[in-house]
Structure 1
Amino acid sequence: MMGQPESKSGLSAIYRNNLVKSAWLVALVLLLATLCLLSISVGTRQVPWQDVFTAVQGQINSVDQAAVAMRIPRTVLSVIAGSALGLAGAVMQGVTRNPLADPGILGVNIGASLAVVIGLAWFGMSVAYAYVWTAILGAGLTAVFVYTIGSMGRGGATPLKLALAGAATSVALSSFTIAVVLPRNDIAGGVRSWQIGGVGGATFDTIQLVLPFLAVGFVISLLSSRKLNTLALGDDLAVGLGEKVALARGMAGLGAILLCGATTAACGPIGFVGLVVPHLCRLLVGVDHRWLLPFSALSGASLLLLADVAGRLLARPSELEVGVVTAFIGAPFFIWIVRRQRVREL
């Protein structure tokens, strides 16, 4: 009888906690909807709201409405790519138990980029689906390579070793990409522009091309939430609870690789979204991946949309690619995480 009030208060606390998280979730959805409206109305040409709503309904009768029609696929791609990168970052941090894990920092995006460049320069790749498959293959091989290198030596795959292995791999692959592109003036301009990372050339054809791969990646990643919670307890305890650690890591990693590869094929390598977003979401909902993963997807979409809109406003009448803006945001954040975690403790 003495334990009954305590159990009721515990359930009440859980209910309040879930209520707060649900409120944050609604707020994120509203923020994302607001940013979508800003994305299709703000740019080099300011469009009145009346023309925005007219263009959304499919009626194109003016230059302003035509501008909105061009921004709609850009906005859709920003939402999809941002959510994919945010979710992939959260999954990678869960799989590696590494607060510095990110598709960019671990070299996964660069590996996908290099694979596409090699396909273009050496094999004359021209089929649309080949870009996506090649990017996913490059992302997967790079992820396996970095994890293998980071696992060598005493202590296994520590966060610091993984971060260093990823950074070294990124530099090496970036240099190799430049070496592949330099002799090929016919593709150099397009490749350099694509490597910055952006959503400016978005079309619905591009979105339809990568959507099936992203959908599978989203499903696998979100279904891995419980397994990531178990992995967070440590390998020994996870095995004791009946978890197949290698299989759990492999499935979650596959979801992240599909998300990274398909996004890189569509937008180029965009960095730091997967690093910044999960850390901010943990401040809102804690470390439970059942909440963290959907929050990271929504927050990633919001961040990339915000970066895209900011890039258009800061460099009028031109624009900054979204990859440049996210680097400005992410680099100081990365330094702050390293200082906060204290490198010797990673």
Structure 2
Amino acid sequence: MNAPLTAQANPRNVVASRSLLLPLVAAGLFLLLVVIGSLIYGAGPVTPREALAALAGTGSDEAWFVIRELRLPRTLIGLATGLALGIAGALLQAMTRNPLAEPGLLGVSAGAGFAVAIAILFGASTATLTTLIAQVGALAGCSLVIAATRVQGLGNDPVRLVLAGATLSGLLLALTSMLMLMDQRAADEIRFWITGSIAGKSLATFQATLPSLIIALTLVVVVARPLAAMALGERAAVGLGHHPGRIRFLITVTVALLVGAATALAGPLIFVGLVVPFIARAFSGPDIRKTLWLCLPIGPAVVLAADVASRLMAAPAEMPLGVVTALIGAPVLLAIVRAGRMPSL
């Protein structure tokens, strides 16, 4: 009796794997294109043809210097930022069972940004210290999100939860503005950083966040399966041997590590954690494990594509990355809110 059942189950698994493979390959190819675009396009004097020649080893020293010292670190930081925010958004949405949950909308990024602003005010300058402070702030913001989802009626209403998160974000942004009035030097640095940008960052900044990203991705592997079980309900998850409270705690820590690292790298970018899981779920369905797999290439691709656009839209100047991500994400948010029904999670 078992053999026919097994034989019937295998084709379904093969079909499911193939259905995920095609969007994964497509997202990977798009990511490759935007990585190349990030290396060859810029607002500076080096043209795409000169950049391609430098990558081929036949270009000028000036072009190779621009790629090696400016565009390559920027590309790596864009990859890390998109990866962190995309996965953090998917985890938040699955944990709260809310398709509008996003680090930038719920105050997690604002908490990290406020903590970094305090650190800058007190003279923090090293990348490691900024990363640690951002993660502490993100942890506080994420904890408030978890508390909000436990409030009667709030966690089950996507719009009310986002309004609560927007209130928290507004409060933290107001406090950040107050900090900017205390020190002109810090104000200039905070003002540039808070708009969101990955320009002018060094490889040292990227390397300082790598330990946090590695730990966070390890935790993602740990929580993915229990989180998928929690989608069936907490009683079902407990019946399968999982502990929902422990899983929520691990997700909180994971999101704090991811958002803190991304905020230290690029500033408080909004809507990335909303757009990336939204695109991934369009191909993967509600299964969080498939969604997380697709977020791996889609998150970096979205951030790098937005960054390339920020270089070209206002050349020879550059538009802040945070402005471009807002231009991309705002229509997606409106589309979700105006939909006849929320996507099931």
Per the normalisation by structure 2, the TM-score is 0.91
Q: Quote how far apart the aligned CAs of 1:208 are.
A: 0.8
- Aligned residue in 2 for 1:205: 204
1:63 and 2:62 are equivalent in the alignment: yes
1:115 maps to: 115
Structure 2 Cα separation of the partners of residues 120 and 68 of structure 1 = 29
On the 8 A contact 1:96/1:159 being kept in 2, the answer is no
What pairs up with 1:12-23 in 2 under 5 angstroms? Answer: 12-23=11-22
Q: Is 90-99 or 280-289 further displaced after alignment?
A: 280-289
What residue number does 1:323 align with? 322
- Offset of 1:210 from its aligned partner? 1.0
Deviates more, 1:110-119 or 1:236-245: 236-245
Give the counterpart letter for 2:240 in structure 1. L
What amino acid sits opposite 2:92 in the alignment? Answer: M
What SS does the aligned partner of 1:318 have?
Answer: coil
* Partner AA of 2:96 in structure 1: T
CA–CA distance in structure 2, aligned partners of residues 324 and 221 of structure 1 = 29
> What RMSD, in angstroms, separates the aligned Cα atoms of the two structures?
2.4
Q: Any residues of structure 2 matched to 1:191-270 within 5 Å, and which?
A: 191-270=190-269
Tell me the distance in 2 between the aligned counterparts of 1:255 and 1:102. 14
Asked whether the equivalents of residues 34 and 305 of structure 2 are also in contact (C-alpha less than 8 Å), the reply is yes
**What is the letter of the counterpart of residue 23 of structure 1?**
L
> What's the CA shift for 1:118?
1.3
Say whether the 8 Å CA contact 1:147–1:157 is kept in structure 2: no
Q: Tell me if the contact between 1:146 and 1:166 (Cα under 8 Å) persists in the aligned partners.
A: yes
C-alpha distance in structure 1 between counterparts of 2:214 and 2:88, whole Å: 13
* TM-score normalised to structure 1 length: 0.91
Q: 1:90 — aligned with what? A: 90
1:169 match: 168
Per the TM alignment, residue 10 of structure 1 is displaced from its structure 2 partner at its CA by 4.7
In terms of mean alpha carbon deviation, does 59-68 or 184-193 score higher?
59-68
Aligned position for 1:137: 136
Structure 2 match to 1:79: 79
Equivalent residues, number: 342
Q: Check whether the contact 2:39–2:71 (CA below 8 A) recurs between aligned residues.
A: yes
Paired residue type of 2:283 = L
Q: List per-residue Cα deviations over 1:69-109 (Å, max 9, x = no partner).
A: 22111011111111111011001111111111111011101
Contact 1:55 1:66 in 2 (8 A): no
Is contact 2:53–2:59 with CA below 8 Å preserved after alignment?
no
Q: CA offsets, 1:120-148, max 9 Å, x none?
A: 22x33344322111110000011112322
Report the CA distance between 1:149 and its aligned residue.
3.5
Structure 2: how far apart are the matches of 1:136 and 1:316?
34
Look up the match of 1:282.
Answer: 281
Q: Please show how residues 270-309 of structure 1 align to structure 2 within 5 Å.
A: 270-309=269-308
Q: Corresponding residue for 2:36? A: 37
**CA–CA distance in structure 1, aligned partners of residues 264 and 178 of structure 2:** 20
Which amino acid letter does the alignment assign opposite residue 184 of structure 2? N
Write the letter of the residue equivalent to 2:248: R
Distance 2:324 2:186 in 1: 25
Match for 2:102: what amino acid? D
One-letter amino acid matched to 1:253: T
Instruction: Please say if residues 124 and 130 of structure 2, whose CA atoms lie closer than 8 Å, have aligned partners that are also in contact.
Output: yes
| Aligned position for 2:182 | 183
Task: Give the deviation of 1:240 after TM superposition.
Answer: 2.5
User: What corresponds to 1:101 in structure 2?
Assistant: 101
- In structure 2, what residue type is equivalent to 1:324? V
SS in 1 for 2:102: coil
* Contact 1:84-1:260 within 8 A present in 2 as well: yes
Cα contact 2:155–2:161 (8 A) shared by 1: no
Q: Distance in 2 between matches of 1:153 and 1:28?
A: 39
Identity among equivalent pairs (%):
36
| Secondary structure of the corresponding residue to residue 224 of structure 1 | helix
Contact 2:127 2:264 in 1 (8 A): no
